[in-house]
A and B are shown apart, each in its own frame.
Chain A
């Protein structure tokens, strides 16, 4: 298995909702990443996990809460989001932090209404 799988592919949520994005890989990668991408912009790094521990938090608002329950799974919990949080949320993994061989998922298209 050489893929990063993200679910759901599309999500519409209200500003008072709580939802979660899921990312899964079975390549034995020990670094996992969340990126946010707005239209016509490059992906922006949000969080980095290395060996299931949060390594980097790019000053992301607390309404985004990451979780890495095991080496294959990465979640992003969403609560009280704003319409400007609507974006494509991308998950990626690599063998180790900063290592070559990053693999990206297809993303979750999030719309906050």
Chain B
């Protein structure tokens, strides 16, 4: 298994500002991902966080808006930049430890932009 700690758990931010979300795993993992869950919706994959290189973004998500870092095998950050109320969502970190193994999720960061 994997225990994931996400910080902060929730925040209320002013529009135009940026927020960095941290994801810390208790063991080394192969893959790390970031998801967004808009109110009342399912999860949407934002990007794959690659260790030591640029993240791989899904269609509709760009690095300037959601810069991601992954300096090692246990830690990653997601920044939500120049926020607007439309960015109000839950952001979740997920990890996979190996091939054909399940994904583990953090508890999420509930972001409200006012």
Q: Do A and B come from one complex?
A: no
The chain B residues found within 8 Å of chain A, CB to CB, are none
